[in-house]
Structure 1
Amino acid sequence: MKRPLVISAIALIWGIVLADVNIYHGWGLVTLLISLVIFILVYRPLKGKLSRFCLLAVPLMITGYILHSINEHHYYDRFAEMESQAVTLKGTVYDEPRHEEGKTRFTIKILSVNGEENARERNHRIQVNIYSEEPIPGLQYGSIVNVTGEIRNPAGKRNFGGFDTRKYLAARGISGTMSVSAKAVNILEGREFSWLKNAGYRLRNAIISALDKCLPQETSSVAAGMLIGYTDGMPEELEEDFRRAGLAHVMAVSGANIAFLLAPLLWLLKKIGFSPRWSSAIAFPAMIFYVFATGMEASVVRAAIMAGVTLTGMLLWRKPDVYCSLAFSAIIILLCNSFMLFDPGFILSFLATLSLVILYNPIFGKLPKWLPKFVRDVLTGTVAAQVGVIPVIAYFFNTFSVISVFSNLLIVPLTGLFTVLAAITAILGNLYMPLGMSAGLLTRIISGVILFITKRTAAIPWAEIRIATPAFILVVLYYALIIYFRFCHPRMDREAARPVAAVILAASGALILLTSIPNRALMLYFADVGQGDCALVRTPAGRNIIIDGGGSINDEKGSFAGEHIVVPLLYNLNMTEIDLMIASHGHMDHIGGLKTVLDKIKVNRLIVADAPDTEMRELTDKALEMGIPVTQMKEGDVLYQEDRLVIKAIYPLEEEWLMPNAAVANANEFSLVVRLDYGDFSALFTGDISAETEKRLLTDNADIDCDLLKVAHHGSKYSSSAGFLAKASPSLAVISVGRNRYGHPGPETLERLSAQGSMVLQTIDSGGILVEVWENEKRMRVTTTVR
């Protein structure tokens, strides 16, 4: 085996995975021991053919397990004892503050907690969010600050397939978060910083400043993105265009950017008279400064390590091996922080590079010879990279760019020239502005072409399609098939290879069919959307229904809950089309996310309460503008019906004289209350009604007896009266609630539910809650995201 480093990298990764998936270390150690035994058993009969350095896999697998276990202890729940307590942290600003949309965000490295310099939290990092319309004067990298506020432990995965904030921040070395006002931050005298990192930030700011002065705003933002990966100044619409056109990767600094900049630098040094060795030695520190200027994202660190290996090889007159370079860079990054293994940027960077290496020659050889070589090069690179990352992009982002091959064929040949021109513009702009502006003229021309192609291709309606999250086992199967047909199949005897390939493809097809078999159970999913309501229903016939969508009164430029929780959750649950959207009432914590769902997912019908709820107007008007039929319903109306399943309204009441006065009543009292019956099972969704409306239902003798109750108004003490609960008599009560200042859920409500004998689950504690009911069963199968 010529590449023992590759085996060692795989072993390190496997050790990290074992530590991550095993909740209990006892089981983790058992699986680690089994893995080591299997490796030794495989190695022994092959040791004559394999290098002894392959045995490095043993200590690296153990290292991966131990290191990740230590890192979990280091980052997870580090501030559990301090959570929800006001503390004063003294620390140094660890990165450059970033200001956008009324918020300044930065990281501090803790020096002391409440004046205690020997606190165990010293040297941990906290992400601080300051709500302010303007950047904080004097706040910069290295500033020493006092910050007073509540520390929060980052949340892990809160919904099935949801985003894991805790892992994301841990990959960036962050253990906790604070959200405070500008008054809570006090900038002290002095600064503490790394001169190398500070030089990188100064270089980045100098580049951005020069580009802004020498180029129009849109061109400058594209140049900064391609040159150093800085997209803060790019308009959201333009970022969306690059993504839809399948060109988002050109804004992520990677090996191509380093190659674009190193190649002319090495050529210039050679022309000056430096030898290849001296050129490499000079280029090395220049590359280090460039890495710090880009913000040290995973893709550029990976590329820099690989470039460093190449430059070192030039110094030692050794030709580097790309597989070993990739393995070496992965080992270095993961040893520094094992959580990087789960970072999408890390995964995409390595997969794109690896697929280019593995698939370039086979794809290039299949293309027609009459095509110009540069066209074949671009086509091969684009297709190879796309093949490597398609399932991962689908898994993490639920998108697939149909137009990417065509757009990359037009854009990629220009990116190298544009990156070099942007660099020249930035350099000359800092040396002598007129020269920078002159260089910027040519940069503008190339940028104009890039922007024209990007916007035109992004405008094609089918340029990008949204897809459901593929099953993880299918993603693994995809890469297993690529590895088999690239490396194993060609080496087999032809007579044996064909039947083996047939068996593998048949087994793969069977696995795909098995994962595609629909679940015929009734599925009720209560999403954790924070302080709001959102319930998803998939009927046995496969129809998708959403009842409320979370949101916040602070949602001015779109709903955070809708964009980052509800829509991804719908794709994770394979709900790519909503047959019925039900909005209980017009408060933003119920309908804010629904507006985002209307924008992102096809909705066939919207149902609202037949009541004077003026706050619902915004949602219904939006739906009507999109051509979605809107129906108002009240007591006795059937919202949906299929075999053995019916959803009907029991409130607002049919008798209008029993309803509250619209002039003085809160929208909560006009909530659409619906009842779901499936065989012997029943569920009640109560919106935000109060005890007064519950009395109206009891007076009207409404059928509220149920097995599952979605508790009204997030568990408010003014709802869920004893009389109402006695008649409803639910076996399971679900409270959709998050952190709030209203005292939800009220202790009185919890006591009344407990006295009734109901099992109570809260989304703030359990995360997303899945309830499954099978035909002819009344028993509920309950699964929670947080256990």
Structure 2
Amino acid sequence: MTDLRMLPAALAVWVAAWALTGPGERWSGLAAGLVAVVLVAAGLGIVFLGGPGRDGLPVSRSRRAMTAWPAGHGRRTWLVLPDGHPQPGRDARTAGPARTARPARPAAATVLVAHIALAAACVLGVTASAHVQLTGRAPLAGLAEQRVTATLVGAVVSQPEPFAFAPGAGQHRWVLAARTVDARGVESAVRAHVQVLSDAVPRYGATVTVSGGLRPADPGAAETARLNADSTAEIRAPPSVLRVLDTHRTALLDVTDPLSPQARGLVPGAAIGDTTRLPDDLSEELRRTGLSHITAVSGGHFAVVVAVLTLLCSVARLPRPVRVLVIALASFAFVLLVRPEPAVLRAAVMAAFALTGVALGRPSQAVPALAASVVGLLVIDPWLARSFGFALSAAATAGLVLLAAPLAARLAPWTGEALAFALAVPLAAQAACGPVLVLLDPSVSTVSVLANLLAGPSLVPATVLGLVATVLAPWLPAVAGLVAWAASGATWWIAAVAHRCAALPGATVPWLGGPAGALLLAALTGLALWAVLRRGPRRGWPESWRATARSGLRQVVRETLRGTPPDVLREPRSGGSRSARAPRPLTRARFLLLLAAASAAALVVALAAPRLAARSGMPEDWQVAACDVGQGDALALRTGPASAVVVDVGPDGPAADRCLDQLGIARVDLLVLSHFHADHVGGLRPVLAGREVAAALVSPVPEPAANAAATETALTAAGVPVRIAGTGDRGAAGSLTWRVVQAGAGTGANDSSVVLAARVGGLDVLLLGDLEDAGQAALVPLTGRFDVVKVAPHGSAVQSRALAERVRPAVALVSSGRDNEYGHPTDEALDLYTGVGAAVVRTDECGTVALVVRGEEVSLAGC
């Protein structure tokens, strides 16, 4: 039986941690007191409802006789007297009829109170922990609200990673566990995490001092504040263990550098979770096909590592204590090697429970181990309740533990045991993780089960060979290079599966986003699981069907290839006449025709269904649309029923592609790339792959150079004619006319943005790109009144009052990401455009929006 007794406590702790790290953080002290009262009351309830009886054995408060048991089996002998009280130790011959008995099970009320007591104790732990940690964060949080300049000292507790949207090139983002803060001449002790953006790349585990301007973090974030570093200095090196492991990480990157692009990214990703060199297109394909877990080290990687070590220890015939010690030390080193991310911590703690059970000779059960791991980690760090990585890891583990075996049992009669288990694992993980994934990306992958089924066998060799190469790389780089090359064979198959499955029509289906979408998907998944699991396994296909299908299929294929009708479907050769109800003979031509018709119908459905589903909710007569692509720009100006002029394509990822699908755009008459920052050109490849692009107009200033070169390469590979924009350029597409008001007028990428004016559907539209002070000032004498303005840049505080008063739009579109790193849009920008009479429309609040012109009225759709 599956032991679910810890699940209510784990769920209660998760809810409490989520509330206390968000809206309820001010009430953590009061909450701790209330939970303590509940815990005391529950303890008293247990004592009065079902406390221990005589001799320390629990008995019911009822005076009924106890349940009889057969004699023997080493149980204590009880005598049940006529009044119903058991008396131990009296002789049966003097006390009347006797029988052996066991105490009755505790009453349901006692069990309920015990569960409440356990949950209350766990919630009290997480509440007290949150209260203590919030108290330690308070001084730094106050300084961040005041946006002061400060100097912090602490340890680097996350692996520095390149930050794509940093204002400067080559900047990295990492987390500092701050221990002291010096601001306004006062030094204070703190215990808080700070997200740092810096040019320097500190070593993981080093103690550093960093100076810069503090900014408040997003509500509910694990970090207390954000800091854009002006200077960073290492004052103490990392511990020797971390330095050794860093050497292995760096050496693995060195030995995989000569390999193919997919291997340079996937071999380190599958071995140690390093995705810094993973190609963007491959990363997107892994995400679309549900294979991202291959580069996110968690339970699967731990299972591989522990299984291999257990096998080696068994071959070496090591005694049990030595095996446990070896596996524990190796697991600890593996955690440090891949960095203790939330999913890694969950897997490590569960592995610790399993090793403890092995050491004691009592193997632990998976569900209690998972629940205890969740409780323990949330008590240590309540902010893990808001981590998507932690949520996905816990959900996937719960799905595999609770659903894989029942699903395999239902599938086995139809598919065979091996294939049933192979299908049940990705099905269980998809069912458990689907509602969480919808919160990250409002879409559902329809190919994840197929992709995991095909790619799953390659994960073990990719991980094992990658780790062997990691161990050997510092000492035997030549041998490590050969091992990494062998691992690249496994990763090649994974990349091929991801590429092919992602290219299938309807690989992802749009879904309702946010909590409502997650709840809807969870309800539908639960309903489907209930329908499948409510009955026991069936007998499967009748054997007569299987035999007929096998023989019939063989004969159809054989005869079709020979060019003659199959015997089983052929008209009688002689004697008698064919019955009036007999089916017509299936000739080869008719067979191929039916196959082609079925394939065409399936293709039409697969291609049309996702696009029709995506377009639901967006009016057919929209004229101007601002796509929700996060922190970036992507706008569309309608030129025909399925065509548009598109200005910018947002950051890396499929967001702009999905938006154009939602708008029904199959052809881009003109693609305008205002400048080459990643938040404007990052989504180019999916847009090019999803539709025909007739021509492109790009900024005359190729900065940043790497982005400009990548953009040129992508456009050339897609066969798109490219033209450098110049002030005064003009053209038309359908009923739309456009002209370049300004291009390359300033210095730097932002001030060199292509400023486009267009007239579409009776609206005059001005798109400002990311112009800053100089660019906006230069634009003032070149413009007049416009109906719609795209505010630059993303609603930052850098705004020209003279330009806003000159343009005086009726609608101001602000394209920015929800909870973005920069605080866009700022109050200054919103107040400025509201003050000149504009209705401000924000994609971070509304999502994708469109302006619709009907008669003399302009209306807004999507908000």
Relative to the length of structure 1, the TM-score reads 0.66
Is the CA contact (8 Å cut-off) linking 2:155 and 2:208 kept in structure 1? Answer: yes
Distance 2:123 2:756 in 1: 56
Match of 1:253 among 297, 315, 318: 297
What is the match of residue 128 of structure 1? 196
Which entry has the higher C-alpha Rg, 1 or 2? 2
Q: After superposition, give the CA deviation of every residue in 1:543-592 in whole Å (9 maximum; x if it has no partner).
A: 89786438xxxxxxxxxx5226xx53775898375468698976418997
User: How many angstroms does 1:187 deviate by?
Assistant: 3.8
Letter of the aligned partner of 1:360 in structure 2?
A: A
Distance 1:587 1:515 in 2: 27
User: How many angstroms does 1:6 deviate by?
Assistant: 0.3
Query: Unmatched 5+ residue regions in structure 1?
Result: 157-165, 494-512, 551-560, 642-647, 654-658, 699-703
Going from structure 1 to structure 2, the CA distance change for 1:6 and 1:692 (only over 3 Å counts) comes to closer
Is the CA contact (8 Å cut-off) linking 2:272 and 2:467 kept in structure 1? Answer: no
What is the match of residue 645 of structure 1? none
Going from structure 1 to structure 2, the CA distance change for 1:6 and 1:664 (only over 3 Å counts) comes to closer
What is the match of residue 558 of structure 1? none
Is the CA contact (8 Å cut-off) linking 1:4 and 1:51 kept in structure 2? Answer: no
Letter of the aligned partner of 1:716 in structure 2?
A: S
Is 2:687 the partner of 1:600? yes
Letter of the aligned partner of 2:496 in structure 1?
A: K
Is the CA contact (8 Å cut-off) linking 2:634 and 2:648 kept in structure 1? Answer: yes
Is the CA contact (8 Å cut-off) linking 1:221 and 1:233 kept in structure 2? Answer: yes
Match of 1:102 among 156, 170, 187: 170
Going from structure 1 to structure 2, the CA distance change for 1:448 and 1:492 (only over 3 Å counts) comes to closer
Q: After superposition, give the CA deviation of every residue in 1:172-229 in whole Å (9 maximum; x if it has no partner).
A: x46323244xxx33444x44x5x5xx52552353365268559964567644433332
Distance 1:669 1:364 in 2: 57
Match of 2:152 among 64, 69, 89: 89
Distance 1:337 1:280 in 2: 27
Q: After superposition, give the CA deviation of every residue in 1:609-646 in whole Å (9 maximum; x if it has no partner).
A: 9xx996799999977975789999999999788xxxxx
Letter of the aligned partner of 1:55 in structure 2?
A: A
Is 2:655 the partner of 1:568? yes
Distance 1:383 1:748 in 2: 48
Letter of the aligned partner of 1:14 in structure 2?
A: V
Match of 1:147 among 204, 210, 224: 210
Is the CA contact (8 Å cut-off) linking 2:766 and 2:789 kept in structure 1? Answer: yes
Distance 2:381 2:821 in 1: 34
What is the match of residue 588 of structure 1? 675
Is the CA contact (8 Å cut-off) linking 2:406 and 2:533 kept in structure 1? Answer: no
Match of 1:475 among 518, 523, 527: 518
User: How many angstroms does 1:46 deviate by?
Assistant: 5.4
Distance 1:763 1:278 in 2: 61
SS of the residue aligned with 1:129? strand
Is 2:213 the partner of 1:209? no
What is the match of residue 496 of structure 2? 455
Going from structure 1 to structure 2, the CA distance change for 1:363 and 1:685 (only over 3 Å counts) comes to same
What is the match of residue 671 of structure 1? 756
User: How many angstroms does 1:300 deviate by?
Assistant: 2.0
Going from structure 1 to structure 2, the CA distance change for 1:215 and 1:416 (only over 3 Å counts) comes to farther
Going from structure 1 to structure 2, the CA distance change for 1:544 and 1:563 (only over 3 Å counts) comes to farther
User: How many angstroms does 1:356 deviate by?
Assistant: 1.4
User: How many angstroms does 1:60 deviate by?
Assistant: 4.5
Q: After superposition, give the CA deviation of every residue in 1:146-172 in whole Å (9 maximum; x if it has no partner).
A: 433333334x4xxxxxxxxx65xx34x
SS of the residue aligned with 1:199? helix
What is the match of residue 225 of structure 2? 175
What is the match of residue 716 of structure 1? 800
More deviation, 229-238/145-154 = 229-238
Match of 1:344 among 388, 397, 417: 388
Is the CA contact (8 Å cut-off) linking 2:670 and 2:693 kept in structure 1? Answer: no
What is the match of residue 109 of structure 2? 47
Is the CA contact (8 Å cut-off) linking 1:586 and 1:667 kept in structure 2? Answer: no
Distance 1:634 1:652 in 2: 6
Is the CA contact (8 Å cut-off) linking 1:245 and 1:454 kept in structure 2? Answer: no
Distance 1:418 1:591 in 2: 31
Letter of the aligned partner of 1:562 in structure 2?
A: P
Q: After superposition, give the CA deviation of every residue in 1:97-151 in whole Å (9 maximum; x if it has no partner).
A: 557983444433335444789645734333333337xx6xxx5345444433333
Is the CA contact (8 Å cut-off) linking 2:271 and 2:467 kept in structure 1? Answer: yes
What is the match of residue 416 of structure 1? 460
User: How many angstroms does 1:9 deviate by?
Assistant: 1.0
Is 2:617 the partner of 1:518? yes
Distance 1:750 1:271 in 2: 72
SS of the residue aligned with 1:332? helix
Distance 1:366 1:25 in 2: 49
- The aligned runs of 1:186-225 (5 Å cut-off) are 186-188=233-235, 190-191=236-237, 195=239, 199-200=241-242, 202-203=244-245, 205-206=247-248, 209=251, 212-213=254-255, 217=259, 222-225=266-269
Going from structure 1 to structure 2, the CA distance change for 1:582 and 1:68 (only over 3 Å counts) comes to farther
Going from structure 1 to structure 2, the CA distance change for 1:217 and 1:347 (only over 3 Å counts) comes to same
Distance 2:285 2:829 in 1: 52
What is the match of residue 163 of structure 1? none
What is the match of residue 232 of structure 2? 185
User: How many angstroms does 1:283 deviate by?
Assistant: 2.6
Is the CA contact (8 Å cut-off) linking 1:85 and 1:151 kept in structure 2? Answer: yes
Distance 1:526 1:215 in 2: 41
Match of 2:399 among 342, 347, 355: 355
Is the CA contact (8 Å cut-off) linking 1:11 and 1:61 kept in structure 2? Answer: yes
Letter of the aligned partner of 2:7 in structure 1?
A: V
Letter of the aligned partner of 1:568 in structure 2?
A: A
Going from structure 1 to structure 2, the CA distance change for 1:466 and 1:594 (only over 3 Å counts) comes to farther
Is the CA contact (8 Å cut-off) linking 1:96 and 1:201 kept in structure 2? Answer: no
Distance 2:303 2:190 in 1: 40
Is the CA contact (8 Å cut-off) linking 2:346 and 2:374 kept in structure 1? Answer: yes
Letter of the aligned partner of 2:523 in structure 1?
A: A
Query: Unmatched 5+ residue regions in structure 2?
Result: 50-106, 164-168, 537-611, 703-707
User: How many angstroms does 1:306 deviate by?
Assistant: 1.2
Is the CA contact (8 Å cut-off) linking 1:18 and 1:65 kept in structure 2? Answer: no
Is the CA contact (8 Å cut-off) linking 1:110 and 1:123 kept in structure 2? Answer: yes
Alignment root-mean-square deviation, CA? 6.1
Letter of the aligned partner of 1:311 in structure 2?
A: L
Match of 1:318 among 359, 362, 387: 362
What is the match of residue 365 of structure 1? 409
Going from structure 1 to structure 2, the CA distance change for 1:263 and 1:576 (only over 3 Å counts) comes to farther
What is the match of residue 307 of structure 2? 263
Q: After superposition, give the CA deviation of every residue in 1:339-397 in whole Å (9 maximum; x if it has no partner).
A: 32332322221222222122212332234569675444333323332333345445424
Q: After superposition, give the CA deviation of every residue in 1:736-768 in whole Å (9 maximum; x if it has no partner).
A: 799999xx99999977974x5x36759799897
Q: After superposition, give the CA deviation of every residue in 1:431-488 in whole Å (9 maximum; x if it has no partner).
A: x63xx86687566445424424633662566258344353342432333344456469
What is the match of residue 57 of structure 1? 119
Going from structure 1 to structure 2, the CA distance change for 1:312 and 1:575 (only over 3 Å counts) comes to same
Distance 2:269 2:213 in 1: 35
Distance 2:625 2:439 in 1: 20
Aligned residues: 684
Is the CA contact (8 Å cut-off) linking 1:527 and 1:767 kept in structure 2? Answer: no
User: How many angstroms does 1:674 deviate by?
Assistant: 3.6
Distance 2:527 2:745 in 1: 70
Q: After superposition, give the CA deviation of every residue in 1:516-558 in whole Å (9 maximum; x if it has no partner).
A: 962669798767989986557899x9989786438xxxxxxxx
SS of the residue aligned with 2:355? helix
What is the match of residue 329 of structure 1? 373
- The aligned runs of 1:418-457 (5 Å cut-off) are 418-427=462-471, 433=476, 444-445=485-486, 447-452=488-493, 454-455=495-496
- The aligned runs of 1:368-379 (5 Å cut-off) are 368=412, 373-379=417-423
- The aligned runs of 1:63-78 (5 Å cut-off) are 78=141
